[in-house]
Amino acid sequence: MLHTITSLPFDNTYVRLPELLFSGVTPARVSRPHVVSFNADAAALIDLDPAEATRADLAEYLSGNQLIPGSQPIAAVYSGHQFGVYVPQLGDGRAILLGEVRNSRGEKWDIQLKGAGQTPYSRMGDGRAVLRSTIREYLCSEAMHHLGIPTTRALAIVGTPDAVHRETVETGAILTRLAPSHIRFGTFEFLCHTGKHGELRVLADHTVNHHFPHLREEERRVARMFREVVVSTARLIAKWQAAGWAHGVMNTDNMSVHGITLDYGPFGFMDAFNPGFIPNHSDPMGRYAFDQQPSIGFWNLRCFAAALLPLMTREEAMEGLDAYQPAFLEHFNDLMRSKLGLRQSLAGDRELAVDLLALMHADGADHTNTFRELATVEMGRDRQAMRDAFRDREAFDAWATRYCQRLQAEGSADEERRSAMNAVNPKYVLRNYLVQTAIERAQRGDFSEVDRLLDLLRRPFDEQLEMEAYAAPPPDWGRHLVVSCSS
């Protein structure tokens, strides 16, 4: 059964938790809200009729000007380690959770308005979001989903001509974000480090009961939940690494207990492969550089473990943490093997992948295009087109000879391998210059490029001949775009 925006079946469980975990809020009104883009794929998650996209008052509901019947808007409090430093209280400074909707498949989805006004946790901020950053999160969360990377989802962007002051004066926007929940590592940290251990137990029970129901009857269910979060986080970061994507702000308050990508700020897909890629110019020391993400993931999980120590033993915490590296390496190696078109696991596979990445780094080869073009290599045939992507062609030839020998070792068939590789190596990713073009057009009132990119990124592995130009590496103007935490 499909629902209208006013008939969504809310089942709000988070507001039944201890009141110190949230504050009731009312979204601030905005002037002349208008729908910039509506995502029918995300609407299906909450059984929302896609025809609602044309509803005359939809922007009123998705801006917060009118409350959706059944919603109970709140802002959640949490703390977290930001760039390695513990901050005792953070919280939803510009995001308002309307409530939780259960769909016909029994899945529960939070509906959150990001940029809907000030909350008790805004910390001198205005509670607003700008059109620029909202478009980036809207498009990237959907791009990640269609790449097979766990993520929050984005239902819609609502724009407003209201001025928002950042480095310059920009127009505002509100993102409607969906997630299984917005419970973070920092939610647990807030309760533990303020000595609220009874409430910590209530939160853990809530998390298990609603989000890890298979653990409800387990005697060591908190420890078991923690271990599952460790493994899902390890697998998530392995996917980021294989995709050549960097989050940019891996604070513990930006880490989800669901092992999903949360809070898109200064993220970036790499163009030229560079292990030290830093997508955030607010991170000059490179704490959250691309090659640091696996170790930061583990660091953040240690903070999460510390917050759960009132509920589990140190031995249980260590047992959970010990699962991180094997889970990461196993999944990352499997992903890289698939990207190389290898069906079997043989000795030397990891070195083969590492050596290709080193060649790519040395020659500035494009991460996405190199793996996509690797599918064109055929055993025993000329590899000129592929080798032209590398300055050191002799080094590539030596690597390609090893690669073809490895393919022969498992009896690889060119056509079958090409098809398998093209199903895991995308042709299209959300490059910074593409989203920047969409942002600049949107700021002039033309939202067509947002929808064009949304449609493109729904099929990142397909050959879309009419969109071929969108697979190109960045032009000169797009190679050094700077992104910060400003939003």
Per-residue pLDDT of 102-153, as tens digits, reads 999 999 999 999 999 999 999 988 999 999 999 999 999 999 999 999 999 9
DSSP string, 307-364: HHTTTS-HHHHHHHHTTHHHHHHHHHHHHHHHHTT--S--TTHHHHHHHHHHHHHHHT
CA distance 307 to 203: 12
Nearest of 270, 480, 479, 467 to residue 370 by alpha carbon: 270
- Contact between 47 and 2 under an 8 Å Cβ cutoff? The reply is yes
CA distance 45 to 176: 13
Tokens of 281: 């110019």
Which of 253, 263, 283, 366 is an active site residue?
Answer: 253
Assess whether 263 carries a catalytic annotation.
no
pLDDT at 337 over 80: yes
Distances, alpha carbon 173 to alpha carbons 6, 31, 145, 338, 442, in Å: 21, 11, 22, 39, 11
Over residues 458-467, the mean pLDDT reads 97
CA distance 176 to 201: 30
Q: Is the dihedral of CA 426, 429, 433, 439 positive or negative?
A: positive
Structure confidence by residue, pLDDT tens digits, 360-400: 999 999 999 999 999 998 876 667 778 888 899 999 999 99
Instruction: Give residues with Cβ within 8 angstroms of 88, minimum separation 6.
Output: 79, 190, 193, 194
Q: Residue 281's CB: how many other CB atoms inside 10 A? A: 14
pTM: 0.97
